[in-house]
Chain A
Amino acid sequence: MLSKIKNYFMDKSVFYFLLLGSGLLALISSIVFYVLDVTTIKGNITFTDDSLMTFIFMLIGVAGCIFAALTKFKIAPLIPVIFFALGFSQNVVMACFPAADILKGVPFFTSNMDIANSTFRIFLIFGILFFISLVLSIIYCFASREKKR
């Protein structure tokens, strides 16, 4: 069994592992992000928090990574890209609201400036992590699944 697994991965390119890495990063970061969203952001903001959609998009992206890793469908690598892009974009939009409060100095979308700053930091940090996942999955699209012989 172990040797089968070893043989399975032996001929895979480094980009294949980058794809798996992007999926793992997306999985962990989206879970942590959503927990933080529910526990610290919700209830302290006046804008509609669509972070659940961000979470869902990222999870579908993770599923897409697994699907692309396991199948040889040439179009499959585009699936995680699309959903990571959707999740990242959703997150960028959400970040705009506390960012507007910080720029204007008026806590319009958040309860106060401390919450504006902390909310923006959360969206920014996880936005960067989502972006890394997205970039890794895009890189995979340029590459081959197997090592070049």
Chain B
Amino acid sequence: MKKNKGNIFRGITAVLASTLCLAGYMSVLAFEREGDINAFLQIKPPSQTVTDDTNYFPSAYDSEEKRLAAEKDFIERTQEEGSVLLKNDNHALPLTSNERKVTLFGRTATDNIFRGGSGGASNADSVTLKAALESRGFEINKPVYDALAAVNLKRGNGEIAEAPASTYNGLSYTGYTDAAIVVLGRYAGEANDLDVSDKYGVPELSLHQVEKEMLEIVKNAGFKKIIVLVNSGYAMDLDWLDDYNVDACLYIGYPGRYGMNGVADLLIGENDPSGHLVDTFAENSLSSPAMQNFGDYVFTNLQSNAQYKKEYLIYAEDIYVGYKYYETRYQDQVLGINNATSSAGVYNSENNSWDYADEMAFPFGSGLSYADFTQEVTDITWNQETHEVIAKVKVTNNGSDYYDGTSKSVVQLYAQLPYEAGMASKSAVQLIGYAKTKPLAKGESDEVTITVSDYLFATYDDNAVNGADESKKGCYIFDEGDYYFAIGNNVHDALNNILAARDVKGLFDEEGVAVEGDASKVKKETLAEYDNTTYAKSETGEIVSNRFDDRDINYFYDEDVVTYLTRDDWNTFPKSYTGLTAADEIASKLSASTNEYTKPSDAPDIDKSKFGQEQLLKLIEFKDKNYDDPDWDKLISQMTLPELYTLVGEHMGNDAIESVGYPANVSNDGPDGLIGATNFNAEVISASTWNKELIEERGEMFGEQALAISYGMTYSPGANAHRTPYGGRNYEYYSEDSIMSYYCGWYQTAAMREKGLISAIKHFCGNDQETNRHGVATFMNEQTYRQGALKGFEGAFVKGKTLGTMTAFNRIGCEPTASDYETMTGVLRNEWGFQGINITDSSRDATTYMFTADCIMAGTDFFNNDTGRIDDVKNYIVSNRDGNIFNKVREIAHHVLYAYSRSNVMNGLTVDTAVTNFVPWWETAIYAFDGTLGGLTAISLGAFIFFAYIKKNKPEEDKKDA
């Protein structure tokens, strides 16, 4: 018996010990990913009781029902104003009241794409196109719809998931021929760019054979109207619409939870589409210069390096992203200069000679309306004393026989700067401002005033002498000469107006039709003298001069390895820079395996008077104190040493800091709505509204969501550039144009801040593709960096005063963004005056190249979802007594406390509130479970040892058992 008991307890011990092992491993993982688990379980710290006196950031709604109703209305309006009508032959749209029996084509018609593939709000309960149409009285051809719905294909990863043409075999359209509504979809997302050559060997944004076959069926099926809806977050190739007799084409992006209601309302004329493109839709999505250097590039001599330490990307296109390339080259084409019509960069042009009309489908800014508008310039003045351009434009709705509702019109303001060969790069035309009218009825007019700071068209010349300090090179400048300011229906129309004002002949539109241009829509202003002083310093007083010489790859070589595109010779159209060999310095930087920072011999000790001091102050008392108030130092000095070094390890939020009354809080994604809340329209659609008030309202809606579900910070909006059409996250960034992004970031983050939500605008900076996003060395010259990647974010920081930013996974040059001092501190804090929180992207998965001390010294505050960094910082401060790191951590505390003192996290707090940490229930459960399991294992082990070894030594009992 005793032997059996011994075996039994040995077996039980084995079971318990195995379970304990598994529990232990899973517990460690759970604690490491605490933030993710809390987000998944929707666990948040208990919120304070809010009274009227302590409701510092109140909701505008007195019930959740009203807030949700407002969200629905907002999403529908955004969709109506952001959908872009690209084609509308013979007034095919709006559909008449008799045209309600329709057939839907395309598998995306049955499997709508509501959002892209990245972190954010859920697709759940999204209103489908079918549901939206049926609610407006449409009758949908059910057999066709059901046949499409039965097609089992999963989109993504190079699969467009379109139904084969055979799906339509034997199906009838009789009775449903008022219109064929063809829905085409494209989908990608985080860590997943679109494919330049997908599994079908076709660029993913091109029309695929299976889609051509479907369109051929539609074309020949006798429908009264053919309407195409482009359900894509990316600029698809759309040069084929006429080939299939498409009557109307509406770009709808990703509509979010209720956007399809807006789409349906547009189709029936309940509202008028007033969106305009924020990207160039070229005839061939591969034809831009940026596309020549997009994707996967590995240094030949670093192939054996670990991942994140060998990839590179060259921005050889210089500033010529999107329309800046096509329109500048067009100007040179009509002027007959600079090899504009050479074969370099030809994709669709005939006779191997570049032609704008052959390469362009829909220019930036394109968008039709059901109504007919005229825009007349009342006045455009560049006041060179106040440094403002003020444009007044009278907009008249001339109405339409086919639509009797009100309509809005967008006034787009562009500028042309003087250019001669040898100057810093300039686009022939660039967006500087815009405005949208109020709703106008037929015959009604509105005068729109656009006021623009001339900073927005200053040129960064990295060869210029800085006017504030002539020992420095690099400066924002204005060249002397003629400046043209113009309005237009799109960027190409505006450029033609400018060229008309310059008396240039031979103009044509994007279809190759000769046009005259309209000089009356242009105003010329002349700058008498070169100006390198006005913007030589930033608003903070910091001199703005070259900081990024070593982000240009040519810096590392004796002879240039990269030729940047220049408008002086279009034969410099970039080649693909494959197979580069890393210079020694590049190889060394990329191969680094540890911090560059080492504690210097003269580093100060940690200052004991700066931590653990008497707790006399509370954070709530600081909600109106300026950043520079000396009392912040006293508050921070109250924090204990563990509170200080623990702060850097963010876990989708932070624990409470009891010593200063900072409550526990949570943070999360994303750009199209907070996780756990409603899914808004994609950012690209919100930007396509060209409506600053609507962008502002988006920020307010985010703030309201945050109040409702208790978020203090969100990792949004996104503001990287649509450098190419294939960037996987383009849908959650605003535009290809940095000025459009400047304005959108400004208005949205300002509104979020007003509502008490910290907006960690991302991914700062230069994360314009997903391929190799971890660690890719992104090389560009300083002008391209400042006027492109940085400019797109600048509005949010300088004007919107956002209190957060999330950095990117890539490098700028060889510098990981999170440890790039020049970007994070030089530009962000010193030039732009940023006072908020700088948080990495999920840095636990980037430890091999994002080194803790380097990041902190460069200006990083939080390591996102990475509590493992706490030990690093603790070692520096406690073990090494490194005063440099200690002082930086106090700066971090200042940034964090300041930002949160301006947030909804303060709601409910008074000086008498005692904040405490909370332990999520699952952590308590884990401790209890593991503890119990450990105890049982120990008991069982003890029993086994007793029966196996101890009891056997009692012979009397042996005899009894026998």
Contacts and interface: CB of A to CB of B under 8 A. Distances in A.
Interface of A: 43, 46-48, 74-75, 77-78, 81-82, 84-86, 88-90, 92-93, 96, 100, 104-109, 111-114, 134, 137-139, 141-144
B190 A81 contact: no
B156 A93 contact: no
Contact of A108 (B17, B25, B157, B191): B191
B933 to A, nearest CB: 12
A46 B17 contact: no
B194 to A, nearest CB: 12
Contacts of A74: 6, 10, 944, 948-949
Given A107-B192, A143-B7, A78 B22 contact: no
A53 to B, nearest CB: 11
B626 to A, nearest CB: 39
B18 A108 contact: no
Given A96-B29, A114-B157, A142 B21 contact: no
20 contacts: A46-B307, A75-B944, A75-B948, A78-B10, A81-B14, A85-B18, A88-B21, A89-B26, A92-B22, A100-B36, A104-B119, A105-B156, A106-B119, A108-B845, A109-B845, A111-B191, A113-B192, A138-B14, A142-B10, A143-B11
Contact of A93 (B26, B191, B192, B847): B26
A44 B157 CA distance: 15
B951 interface: no
A47 B812 CA distance: 23
B774 interface: yes
Contact of A113 (B29, B118, B156, B846): B156
Given A85-B22, A142-B7, A47 B845 contact: yes
Residue from B15, B25, B845 whose CB has the most chain A CB atoms within 10 Å: B25
Most buried by A among B21, B24, B25, B192: B21
For chain B, which range describes its interface: under 10, 10 to 19, 20 to 34, or 35 or more residues?
35 or more
Contacts of A89: 21-22, 24-26
A50 B577 CA distance: 35
Interface in B6-34: 6-8, 10-11, 13-15, 17-18, 21-22, 24-26, 28-29
Nearest to A111: B191
Contact of A106 (B25, B26, B190): B190
A85 B948 CA distance: 23
A143 B11 CA distance: 8
A82 B759 CA distance: 48
Nearest to B154: A113
A7 B754 CA distance: 85
Contacts of B3: 144
A106 to B, nearest CB: 5
Q: Chain B binding site: helix, strand, loop or mixed by DSSP?
A: helix
Contacts of A90: 25
Contacts of A46: 307, 774, 845-846
Contacts of A105: 117, 156, 189
Given A48-B847, A141-B7, 7 more contacts: A74-B948, A77-B10, A78-B17, A100-B36, A104-B119, A109-B845, A114-B157
Contacts of A114: 157
Contacts of A143: 7, 11
A108 B33 CA distance: 14
A1 to B, nearest CB: 32
A42 to B, nearest CB: 9
Contacts of B191: 106-108, 111-112
Nearest to A142: B11
A141 B118 contact: no
B384 to A, nearest CB: 49
The 3 A-B pairs at the shortest CB distance, nearest first, are namely A142-B11, A85-B21, A85-B18
Contacts of B6: 74
B122 to A, nearest CB: 11
Contacts of B14: 77-78, 81, 137-138, 141-142
Contacts of A78: 10, 13-14, 17
Contacts of A142: 7-8, 10-11, 14
B593 to A, nearest CB: 14
Contacts of A112: 157, 191-192
Contacts of A106: 117-119, 189-192
B25 A144 contact: no
Nearest to B32: A93
Contacts of B948: 74-75
Contact of A85 (B11, B17, B847): B17
Contacts of A48: 847
A124 B14 CA distance: 23
A90 to B, nearest CB: 7
Contact of A141 (B13, B21, B22, B847): B13
Interface in B319-353: none
A86 B10 CA distance: 18
A93 B23 CA distance: 11
A34 to B, nearest CB: 18
Q: Which residue, B11, B117, B846, has most C-beta atoms of chain A within 10 A?
A: B11
Given A141-B11, A142-B8, A82 B17 contact: yes
Contacts of A47: 845
Interface in B157-190: 157, 189-190
A134 B192 CA distance: 38
A82 B19 CA distance: 10
A65 B15 CA distance: 16
B17 A93 contact: no
A81 B12 CA distance: 12
Nearest to B773: A46
Nearest to A104: B119
A134 B118 CA distance: 38
Nearest to A135: B18
B867 to A, nearest CB: 15
A82 B21 contact: yes
Contacts of B24: 89
B190 A108 contact: yes
Given A74-B948, A113-B156, A142-B10, A134 B18 contact: yes
Nearest to B952: A74
A108 B944 CA distance: 46
Given A89-B24, A93-B26, A113-B156, A138 B190 contact: no
B381 to A, nearest CB: 49
B196 to A, nearest CB: 15
Nearest to A96: B29
A77 B846 CA distance: 41
Contacts of A75: 10, 944-945, 948
A84 B119 CA distance: 36
Interface string B791-820: 000000000000000000000000000000
B423 to A, nearest CB: 43
Contacts of A107: 190-192
Nearest to B23: A89
Contacts of A138: 11, 14-15, 18
Nearest to A78: B14
Contacts of A88: 18, 21-22
B111 to A, nearest CB: 14
**Which of A48, A81, A100, A134: most chain B Cβ within 10 A?**
A81
Interface string B880-919: 0000000000000000000000000000000000000000
A35 B362 CA distance: 52
Interface in B180-218: 189-192
B29 A93 contact: yes
Contacts of B22: 85, 88-89, 92
Contacts of B157: 112-114
B8 to A, nearest CB: 7
Contacts of B774: 46
Contacts of B18: 81-82, 84-85, 88, 134, 138
A47 B308 CA distance: 12
Given A74-B948, A106-B117, A92 B25 contact: yes
B590 to A, nearest CB: 16
